[in-house]
Amino acid sequence: MADTQALAGLANMLLSGAVEVVDLSAVLGPNTPLLKLPPELAVDTPKIEIHKISAYDENGPWWAWNWLKVGEHSGTHFDAPHHWITGRDYPDGATDTIVPQNFVAPVNVIDCSAEAAADNDFLLTADAVKAWEADHGEIQPGEWVVMRTDWYKRNKSEDAFLNADETGPHSPGPTAECIQYLVDKGVVGWGTECIGTDAGQAGGMEIPFPAHNLMHKNNRYGLASLCHLDKLPPKGAILIAAPLKIENGTGSPIRALALVPKQ
Ligand code: 23J
Ligand code: MN
């Protein structure tokens, strides 16, 4: 049975500020950094556009509103299983068919900020996750796992965020065995502060884009371009990451929120 007293306690802590709501989303607009794929491989997602319909003017005297042109995988966003070929057949794998219970879960925050600063191509390994668990406690089934790198601090500049040179983009991410370890733990999803859930160089890995390939193959989710993971404790916060209910959607921009007990 549900502990209604605990929920009443949470309600009070939200009202008093003892539990803070931390915004993990970046601003979504024409300056949002977007993924660039090799042109010989793929077509890119289009630049975001915000078009005015009216602003208390002759097109609508008492109201303001806009319409948007925005790809599903833009800015702080959710990757549904249908995004990847390995997850295409799950009946509950699109933005409109995922059970909403899965959008809200405890979050494990693995701090890789020092490693990512020292090596932009840093890869989180399964052994490093096991060492993190020895320090902070085991990752439980149904939980989110996110990789803190402080990479969001670069998101005002697409060049800095993508960090590409003649050898391609350079940004941190997970190894394939790391993702398989998390899948075996039963996590609901994996998130990062970078443009995608995979490392910049992940297209050339033995399994290309292993976070996408393996998470979605197992009907799990991805979160990309998260912000402010430096404001979260390693354990103890609750992450809310719900995509728009796009029909047959493969992903969606989100307002990612964390409920965090105040220190
Ligand atoms: C398509 C192809 C490769 C990648 C991605 C999309 C993403 O990162 C994404 O937004 O899901 S790496
Ligand atoms: Mn995506």
pLDDT in tens, the chain (263 residues): 678 999 999 999 999 999 999 999 999 999 999 999 998 989 999 999 999 999 999 999 999 999 999 999 999 999 999 999 999 999 999 999 999 999 999 999 999 999 999 999 999 999 999 999 999 999 999 999 999 999 999 999 999 999 999 999 999 999 999 999 999 999 999 999 999 999 999 999 999 999 999 999 999 999 999 999 999 999 999 999 999 999 999 999 999 999 999 98
Nearest CA to ligand 1 atom 8: 196
Q: Which residues line ligand 1 (CB under 6 A)?
A: 35, 37, 73, 79, 83, 196, 198, 209, 224
**Residue 139 CB contacts under 8 Å (≥ 6 apart), including other chains:** 108, 129, 133, 145, 182, 185, 187
Residues carrying an active site annotation: 83
Find the 141 Cα to ligand 1 centroid distance in Å.
25
Q: How far apart are the C-alpha atoms of 209 and 214, rounded to whole Å? A: 9
Of 32, 35, 36, the residue with max ligand 1 atoms within 8 A of its CB, to mutate for a pocket test, comes to: 35
Residue nearest to atom 5 of ligand 1 (CA): 196
Measured in angstroms, how far is the CA atom of residue 48 from the centroid of ligand 2?
15
Residue 189 Cα to ligand 2 midpoint, Å, equals 13
Q: Which listed ligand is nearest to 196 at the C-alpha?
A: 1
The structure's pTM equals: 0.98
Quick one: which H or E segment has residue 15? helix 4-16
Would you state the structure tokens that stand for residue 109, as one six-digit string? 């925050």
Centroid of ligand 1 to alpha carbon of 67 (angstroms): 24
